[in-house]
A and B are shown apart, each in its own frame.
Chain A
Amino acid sequence: MKYETPDIPEGINVAPRNHLVDFLILTVGAVVIILTITFLLSLASNYIAKKIPFETELTFSEPFEEIQNAENQETNDYLRSLIATIAVCSDLPEGMEIKYNYQGMDLVNAFATLGGNIVLFQGLINKLDNENELAMIIAHEIAHVKNRHPIQSLGRTAVLKMAFSLVIGNSATNPIENSGLLTSLKFSRDMETEADNEGIKALNECYGHINGATAVFRKLEDLQQKQPITPLAFLSTHPMNEDRISNIEALAKNNNWNRKGLLIDLPKSIKTKIEKIEKIKKTE
């Protein structure tokens, strides 16, 4: 008997196939499916987020909180009492509490985030002329908290991250990132309008008029126009436009709110020199 080795035939065990075509079909398919699921999930998360009790929101936001106060006790007392007053006017649901945070940075910004935290920057306070303007900003941020916008935004971010980690393949990271003060979440245009509407209502409730409400938004817009190179942080988190300002004005007109009331001065001590951002970056 004779034994021999035949030539191994090619193309049987390894099917000739263009992997690039496979890759394209599979990738496009996966992307379409993931986009569809992401869209449906973000719709669902918007719905579900509102149903999550505020106490539950606190349990997962609190470990990341690090409430910060101004060095000046007078400023703290003033801001805290102003926030408390507007919170009362905002008609918050039971159990919801607004937490005051202060940042001494040269950043024209203010935002609301998880756990009822409201963050005010000295940079913004320095640009304001009276208490009513500050009150409008605070009322706007409180309205975000009242309408559960931070947790809705978190839900949407979490869904997007999940979808992305599916594609990239790494395990989903905690959606509440950055220890210390929670970073600002992005709110949709509808959320901003809702916060405007409720904010101005609370302002009217507190002061009996809405003087200063549109002025503050206009002022920030003008500031931006004057120095377009350095964008105002507030406008990047709160995209402002003529529509929003005219929406506020229309609302005031329809409700017959007084647009010319007494403006209250800000306490002198509140406008302070601000730490330069560079300095803060160094200490970090």
Chain B
Amino acid sequence: MAYINELTVLTFLLILGFVAGTFAEGRHYNSIKKRERMLKRIPAISMRTPPDMNCDQVLVSGNIVIANDYFKLFVAGLKGIFGGQLNTYESLLDRGRREAVLRMKEEARKLNARLIVNVKLTTSNLGVAQNKSSGSLEVYAYGTALIAK
């Protein structure tokens, strides 16, 4: 029964994915929430024109590549058969977007910016091979930081 081995590996990966994934996600969210409070004084808004033209304008950006754990990928794979909302991807995307915005704000903070306008987010799927997604994605956030002259 060679299948027993494969089943064992699958079960091991699922458990490992679930435990490690839950741990990593919890830790990441804690860090995100903490830094969001720290960087709250630099608002990032989507308005296209700066409210005050009398300041320097600098492009700032933040980028993150993040992967889903095996357990969530597996559940998403099953959902891919039956259909339905891919809830297991939601936290991945949420973490990605918030982390990218935070990194962009980090850059703005170093420039002593007081506001970031025209903020945009792009997402792309990474590691697409053999028509299979590896479940990792890149989120890129960019905007125009306004620095007082």
Q: Does A27 contact B (CB under 8 A)?
A: yes
Contacts A5-B40, A5-B43, A168-B6 given; indicate if A23 touches B87 (C-beta within 8 A): no
Q: Does A95 contact B (CB under 8 A)?
A: no
CA A5 to CA B143, docked complex, whole Å: 15
Interface residues on A, range: 20 to 34
Q: Can you list 25 A-B contacts with CB-CB less than 8 angstroms, sorted by A residue number?
A: A3-B43, A3-B45, A3-B51, A5-B36, A5-B39, A5-B40, A7-B36, A8-B36, A8-B98, A13-B90, A13-B94, A14-B94, A20-B18, A22-B75, A22-B87, A26-B78, A26-B79, A26-B82, A27-B78, A29-B82, A30-B78, A164-B3, A167-B10, A168-B3, A168-B10
Sample of 5 further A-B pairs with CB below 8 A, known A17-B87, A29-B82, A30-B81: A3-B51, A22-B79, A23-B71, A26-B82, A167-B10
In the complex, what residue of chain A is closest to B7 when comparing beta carbons? Answer: A168
Q: Does A15 contact B (CB under 8 A)?
A: yes
Q: Does B136 contact A (CB under 8 A)?
A: no
Q: Does B44 contact A (CB under 8 A)?
A: yes
> Which A residues have a C-beta under 8 Å from some C-beta of B?
1, 3-5, 7-8, 13-15, 17, 19-20, 22-23, 26-27, 29-30, 164, 167-169
List chain A residues, Cβ under 8 A from B45: 3
Q: Does B72 contact A (CB under 8 A)?
A: yes
List chain B residues, Cβ under 8 A from A167: 10
Q: Does B88 contact A (CB under 8 A)?
A: yes
CA A167 to CA B9, docked complex, whole Å: 13
Given B51, B77, B93, B115, which contacts A169 in the complex, CB threshold below 8 Å?
Answer: B77
Interface contact B75-A26, CB-CB below 8 Å = yes
List chain B residues, Cβ under 8 A from A17: 87
List chain A residues, Cβ under 8 A from B41: 5
Interface residues on B, range: 20 to 34
Given B43, B71, B81, which contacts A19 in the complex, CB threshold below 8 Å?
Answer: B71
List chain A residues, Cβ under 8 A from B7: 168
Task: Tell me whether chain B's interface is mostly helix, strand or loop, or mixed.
Answer: helix
List chain A residues, Cβ under 8 A from B42: 5
Given A4, A7, A19, A29, which contacts B87 in the complex, CB threshold below 8 Å?
Answer: A19
Interface contact A19-B72, CB-CB below 8 Å = yes
Q: How far is the CB of A32 from chain B (nearest CB, A)?
A: 12
10 closest cross-chain pairs (CB), A and B: A26-B78, A3-B43, A5-B43, A14-B90, A14-B91, A14-B94, A17-B87, A13-B94, A5-B40, A23-B75
CA A164 to CA B85, docked complex, whole Å: 26
In the complex, what residue of chain A is closest to B51 when comparing beta carbons? Answer: A1
CA A11 to CA B51, docked complex, whole Å: 32
CA A22 to CA B91, docked complex, whole Å: 15
CA A17 to CA B81, docked complex, whole Å: 19
List chain A residues, Cβ under 8 A from B3: 164, 168
Q: How far is the CB of A175 from chain B (nearest CB, A)?
A: 13
Residues of B29-57 contacting chain A, CB below 8 A: 36, 39-45, 51
CA A262 to CA B88, docked complex, whole Å: 75
Q: How far is the CB of B34 from chain A (nearest CB, A)?
A: 13
List chain B residues, Cβ under 8 A from A14: 90-91, 94
Q: How far is the CB of B108 from chain A (nearest CB, A)?
A: 12
Q: How far is the CB of A245 from chain B (nearest CB, A)?
A: 29
CA A22 to CA B14, docked complex, whole Å: 14
Q: Mark B77-109, 1 if CB is under 8 A from A, else 0.
A: 111011001011011011000100000000000
List chain B residues, Cβ under 8 A from A164: 3, 6
